[in-house]
Amino acid sequence: MKMKRVFPSEDEPLQSSRILSNSIRATVSTRAFYESKPYTSHARSQFDLSKSQSEISNDLIKLPSSHKQSRRGVSHSIRNLIKKASESIKCHRRNIQEHKDRSRTAWGRIRSPSAILRRGFECEDEILYSPVPGNGNRPPKIPRGHSGSAARAAAAAENKAIPLHLHNEFTWRNRQIFRSSEQQEDRESGIGIAVTATPVSPIEKLDSPTDCSEISRVDFISKLPSELAIQILVNLDQATLRNIATVSKQWLKISSTPSIWREVFLREQTKTYASGRPIQLGAGLGLPSFNSNNDWKDLYRIREQLRENWMRGTAGAIYLNGHLDSIYCIQFDEKKIITGSRDKTIRIWDLKKYKCTLIIGPPDVVNNPSLMIGEDGRSRHYAIMPDMTKSPAENHPNTISFPIHHDQSILCLQYDDRILATGSSDGTCIVHDIKNGYQPIRQLRHHTAAILDLAFDGQHIVTCSKDITICIWNRNTGALIKQLRGHAGPVNAVQLRGNIIVSCSGDFRVKLWNIDTGKNIKELVGHTKGLACSQFSEDSRFIASAGNDKTIRIWDANTGEALQSITAHDNLVRSLYIDSISGRLVSGSYDQDIKVFDMSTGARLLDIPKWHSSWVLGAKSDYRRIISTGQDPKILIMDFGMNIKGIENLES
């Protein structure tokens, strides 16, 4: 590569050059010569360094005599100049790698006495400690060599890391770039580095099978402290936990930690459809009380098997016998069942042992020997198990009669942990003290016809009657607060949630009432025949109603919109029950069928046909069972958890 205009020219700007220490020495002496003897621009133009020595000598010979004479005194200096310029050209043509870095201190420029005595032109690479303004339009001179030391050190370390053959190839390819551009490059950014490899497609790189083998695989669960591993795994679902248990023994051990399965169980198994709150532990809703000894992984298995049995309709049937006539009403929990019958009695049954423990009724009924012994001389109270065996063989429940009692059929009942309220065809409601052996507390009288249904909460008792009215009572004192009128037919069903009462009647209508004001706030119209039953979800969002038009309608309680219309049975729908935990809707009909529907979609989940020999009058369910009653004096228990090992562990 040829290099021109080593000396500065006034008519052209300086070209930045990467001048090494050897060339600096040559240039300093040249500058010293021109400082000592001024020269013209014509003289400068004659010394083109691209010419050879002989050409330059011939040019000098051709000069005018006057000029020769003026320059004769410095001929010796001109020869020295030519010699030094030639050495400078040769120096620049050498390989850059042959030059060793020399000190950039001021002493590095001291080469001869003349350099000390005479000040030469300032070189581009002359060391400056502060910026110097440029002359005229020239740019300022910026200090070099004293900044970016950290970057240069990092670049040097990076260059050392490059393999030797790649480094040589890189140097050869980029040598011309550095010479032509004659500027310092940012070695950190990689700008200006020639591309020497063929680009690889990102997709091809990802699809390459060899890349997977280069991925570092670390068993982080085994290496982490157990506490941290548990905090990670607790966020997984049960299916993932079961899969990772097959990775190794250590993963199996950690994934089986009870605290992990407890959180998974509570997260996935406490969700509800329309209760407004998660399932409470120990509330009799399918979750046991909290116990440090609980095997939560096994509890999860039990719940999953129970769910699958509900989906497949796999249940064991048990029939409880004892009542003498139709059983109109029923309620149950994990331990007991309470029923009311047309035979004027209220009976309490042990759900674990499948036997009747107490009969409450009028004196003439409970003291009648036929209540206990049938015409065949055998006990009337027994259970028929799925294998058609009787259990127990002999069952003689206790009987009791109180001064306050019902003289006619028991049509409806409801209980909590304190009281049992019953309504009868005699038009009265009796409140019993459960904790005091079902001793009657008071009898509510105001209706002029049979009480068909009732509901209560912590403050009120609400009753509805064939006399087409609804009465609101004070639970604690028994005082009548209000009597609501608005239906045009017998009020067959009533529910209470908060300050809202829902009622349905033979007049085809569902009505919503404000318990504080007694006003009718909403009316749901859509049924084409009289209604026999209705239900109100626990979170007060949904209402279900059904009756003689054989359809079930699900309503939005807030807007009054009909969400679902289900053609459910072939005869009058006599009973409805919303399981707000699971979202299942259970119906019973005069067609002797019991059916289960999905509240959200209206789809039929189960059909249990003809398990009763006559009309189905009542049907309720919990997490494990459906228990129903009918015109035939039997209680039907459909147990979906009968054959599941450990099912009793779900009890509170």
What are the residue boundaries of the structural domains of the chain, listed by start?
Answer: 21-145, 220-312, 315-360+363-400+623-646
Q: Which residues contact 76 (CB under 8 A, 6 or more apart)?
A: none
Domain 220-312 maps to which CATH number in 3.90.550.10, 3.40.50.150, 3.40.50.300, 1.20.1280.50? 1.20.1280.50
Q: Is 484 helix (H, G, I), strand (E, B) or coil?
A: strand
The sheet carrying 616-621 orders its strands as 390-391, 382-384, 316-321, 634-639, 625-630, 616-621
Residues in the chain: 652
pLDDT at 514 over 50: yes
Do 235 and 261 form a contact (C-beta atoms < 8 A)? no
Lowest mean pLDDT of 119-128, 422-431, 439-448, 527-536, name the range. Answer: 119-128
Instruction: Please give the C-alpha separations between residue 317 and each of 70, 82, 355, in angstroms, as whole numbers.
Output: 135, 121, 15
Confidence (pLDDT) at 156: 65
Q: Average pLDDT of 5-34?
A: 42
pLDDT band at 155 (very low <50, low <70, confident <90, very high): low
Most confident option among 11-15, 288-292, 320-324: 320-324
Q: Average pLDDT of 44-64?
A: 48
Report DSSP letters for 349-417, one per residue: EETTTTEEEEEE--HHHHT-GGGTB-TTSSBS-EEE-TTS-EESS----EEE--SS--SS-EEEEEE-S
Q: How far apart are CA 398 and CA 444, in angstroms?
A: 26
When the pLDDT of each residue in the chain is averaged and rounded to a whole number, the result is 78
Environment class of 119 (CB within 10 Å of its CB; exposed 0-12, middle 13-18, buried 19+): exposed
Which candidate, 574, 602, 1, places its Cα nearest to that of 330?
Answer: 574
Do 581 and 271 form a contact (C-beta atoms < 8 A)? no
Lowest mean pLDDT of 73-82, 118-127, 229-238, 390-399, name the range. Answer: 118-127
pLDDT at 192 over 60: no
Percent of the chain with pLDDT over 70: 65
pLDDT at 382 over 90: yes
Percent of the chain with pLDDT over 90: 50
Residues 544-554: pLDDT tens digits? Answer: 999 999 999 99
pLDDT at 610 over 60: yes
Confidence (pLDDT) at 150: 57
